[in-house]
Amino acid sequence: MLNVKKLTRKYKNGSTYINAIDDINANFNVGDFVFILGESGSGKSTLLNVLCGLDTKIDGSVSIDGIDTSTFSKKDWAIYRNHYVGFVFQEYNLIEHLKVWENVALPLQFQGLSKKQAKKKAVIELEKIGLGKFIDKLPNHLSGGQKQRVAIARAFVTDPKIIMADEPTGALDTALGDKIIAYLKEKAKDKIVVIVTHDEDLAEKFANRIITLEDGKILNDSNQVSETITPEKELNLVRPRMKLSMLFKFARNNISSRIFRSIITSSIVSIGYISIFLLTFLILGINSSIASTISSFIPEDQYQIYHIGNEEITTDEMAQISALEHVESVEYVVTEQILLEYQGIPNNSILTSVPYDEVSLQSNTSTLYGEIPSSSDEIIINSLTAANLEGLQYIEKGSEEYVFNSVKNLTVSIKYIDSTGTKTLIGEYKIVGMVVNTSMQPLVYAEYQESLDISNMINNDENIYASQATMYLNTDNEDEISDLRKTLNDNHDIFVMNLYESITSNIDDFMMKALKIFIGIASISLIVSGILIGLVVYTSILERIKEIGILTAIGAKSSSIVGIYLIESAFLGLISSIIASGVALLLTKFINGLFNNFIEKPLNLLTQGLFEMQLLSPNVLVILIVITFSILYAMLAGVIPSLRASKMNAVKALRKE
């Protein structure tokens, strides 16, 4: 039994309210075949929408089987609409992209029936109403009468207590209309049927009760029923639910029924992603080329060792470093201090020179006078040493050539001073050259690099000091390397650096910074595409307001509606990132081809194979990250329109034509 007490539905009209239905009292029993008659605007549809739970903003009370609906939550209303009520509308309100049987099966699937079970019941219902042959058709292949029969099958398929129909014959001719109503009457003996119409003849022909409305009030009720007390029960039915697979189906149908628009939108959105792909591939390409070029002249397992401060690495320390596990070999940069003594010059005049076979003109050296020594008893001296030999404090600008000419071909003896100050004669040399340096320091440290046989030197008790060493390892195990580093740091105040690592990490830093800037720029295009996706989803919603109304009417929760449109957004994100990946990969191939032909190959020939690079380096991880991002971002962009869709008023939505 359905009881209505003091039912009023107000609509705001400017600053005043109008009562679409006004203080209505009525009871409906099983077996009632009620027609509601009245002029247009008298409140018929409003009453029906309230009774079937589409419109819940009411004063007064409606109760079903003794259950008061005033305490209903949204969930309860969804249960009520799905289990208690079957709707038939004037406009049929079928979902155009679902087959006939799918339309009928929908309310059952909301109740949790499997697709198979739901289809079975739907087909039985359709066969009963004479549509057995049309189950696999889409609604727009059917005539109006057939569509209305599908709608009736959908209303009956859940075997609801109440059937409500708003102008069900309004779009049909009289004969067809009569047939439909006769079928309803025949089928609904154990139900409450409420039919809204303005067709008095139809009502007279079929009704066993007629309620006439005028200005929202009951003008006449032909067969009033008194309220029978029904014991209060709990609304204890399964909550209607749209399965994820169904949400996907709706989203997919939304996209594919507007495939052209979806592709255009996705293509525009993909432009931003294409630029992100190309920039990232470019940075990765350049980065890996630089890394491989560097590794071709700096081995990755080469470590440089320095002493912290001015001290040099001692022979002892050398021995310890060489003895470390994983160390394959060590080369030391040895600094030798050599004393140059000219006969006749007082002992305290210390001069130095460079062993000619290791001549390295230092950075502050500008000019060489004379020539490079050609035999082992010839040397070059520095300009200040030359000035001292001449008895001068310094060389005046412009007099270098004069000074060199006066010391040229002099023979000097060179002595080695060890750390205790003991001088050892190394040999006698003829001056053949002079380097001009800007240094005021007459001592020149000659640096030469040598692979020294440490064990031999230690055995011979030789006193050799090194400022720097290069260590070659035979391990690429990071742990072992860090152990080694720790040992060296702990024991020797020694600083260890991997040149390859420090150069490439600097480059990596730089590349990451560049990447961030590029992505920053690209994100401007992402903002635009987010807005675009939001608009497209919103448009899709506007075009499907009716569908949202239908889904709500048969019991869909608002979260399911949100779900459909979020998935639709996600699809757009997926399509755009897939388009972007495809185009980016094609462009990569094309650009790399051009680069190889016109730049890489010629340069490679010119440098005899030293120049070898791939300009753009595609990367699967980057593609996966962008696709994931694109999907999530599109969903984010779709959130606002989806929420709006879910808040759409079902009554208004169904009114829209």
Q: How far is the CB of 167 from Mg ion (least distance, A)?
A: 6
- Looking at the Cβ atoms of 122 and 210, the one nearer to ligand ADP is 210
Q: How far is the CB of 634 from ligand ADP (least distance, A)?
A: 33
Distance CA 207, CA 222 (A): 10
Q: Which does 191 bind (CB under 5 to 8 A by kind): Mg ion, ligand ADP, none?
A: none
Q: Which does 598 bind (CB under 5 to 8 A by kind): ligand ADP, Mg ion, none?
A: none
Sheet with 192-196, edge to edge strand ranges: 85-89, 162-166, 192-196, 33-38, 209-214, 217-221
Query: Applying CB under 5 A, which residues contact Mg ion?
Result: 45
Among 578, 574, 569, CA closest to 531: 569
Distance CA 273, CA 285 (A): 18
| Cα–Cα–Cα angle for 29, 35, 38, rounded to 5 degrees | 135
Q: Which does 283 bind (CB under 5 to 8 A by kind): ligand ADP, Mg ion, none?
A: none
Q: How far is the CB of 194 from ligand ADP (least distance, A)?
A: 13
Q: In this structure, what token pair is assigned to residue 560?
A: 């399911």
Q: In this structure, what token pair is assigned to residue 433?
A: 């050259």
Instruction: Enumerate residues 6+ apart whose C-beta is below 8 A from 645.
Output: 541, 548, 561, 562, 564, 565
- Largest separation between any pair of C-alpha atoms in the chain: 146
Interface with ligand ADP includes 212 (CB under 6 A)? no
- Looking at the Cβ atoms of 213 and 466, the one nearer to Mg ion is 213
> What DSSP element (H or E) covers 306?
strand 302-307
What CA–CA distances, in Å, run from 568 to 559, 573, 628?
14, 9, 15
Residue 172 and residue 147 in contact, taking contact as beta carbons nearer than 8 Å: no
Distance CA 33, CA 31 (A): 6
- Looking at the Cβ atoms of 42 and 382, the one nearer to Mg ion is 42
Q: Which does 11 bind (CB under 5 to 8 A by kind): ligand ADP, Mg ion, none?
A: ligand ADP
Q: How far is the CB of 654 from Mg ion (least distance, A)?
A: 11
Residues 18-57 vs ligand ADP: string with x where CB under 6 A? Answer: --x-----------------x-xxxxxxx-----------
- Other CB atoms within a 10 A radius of the CB of residue 174 amount to 11
Residue 316 and residue 457 in contact, taking contact as beta carbons nearer than 8 Å: no
| Cα–Cα–Cα angle for 55, 653, 96, rounded to 5 degrees | 125
Q: How far is the CB of 650 from ligand ADP (least distance, A)?
A: 12
Size of the residue set binding ligand ADP (CB under 6 A): 10
Distance CA 355, CA 632 (A): 69
- Looking at the Cβ atoms of 47 and 634, the one nearer to Mg ion is 47
Beta-bridge partner residues of 434: 369, 381
Q: Which does 38 bind (CB under 5 to 8 A by kind): Mg ion, ligand ADP, none?
A: ligand ADP
- Looking at the Cβ atoms of 212 and 577, the one nearer to ligand ADP is 212
Concatenating the DSSP letter of every residue in 102-113 gives: HHHHHHHHHTT-
Interface with ligand ADP includes 240 (CB under 6 A)? no
- Looking at the Cβ atoms of 43 and 618, the one nearer to ligand ADP is 43
Helix (H/G/I), strand (E/B), else coil: 303: strand
Interface with ligand ADP includes 580 (CB under 6 A)? no
- Looking at the Cβ atoms of 53 and 107, the one nearer to Mg ion is 53
- Looking at the Cβ atoms of 209 and 415, the one nearer to ligand ADP is 209
Interface with ligand ADP includes 438 (CB under 6 A)? no
Q: How far is the CB of 3 from ligand ADP (least distance, A)?
A: 21
Q: How far is the CB of 275 from ligand ADP (least distance, A)?
A: 48
Q: How far is the CB of 171 from Mg ion (least distance, A)?
A: 13
Q: Which does 53 bind (CB under 5 to 8 A by kind): ligand ADP, Mg ion, none?
A: none
- Looking at the Cβ atoms of 49 and 82, the one nearer to Mg ion is 49
Among 610, 629, 614, CA closest to 283: 614
Interface contacts to ligand ADP, rule CB under 6 A: 11, 20, 38, 40-46
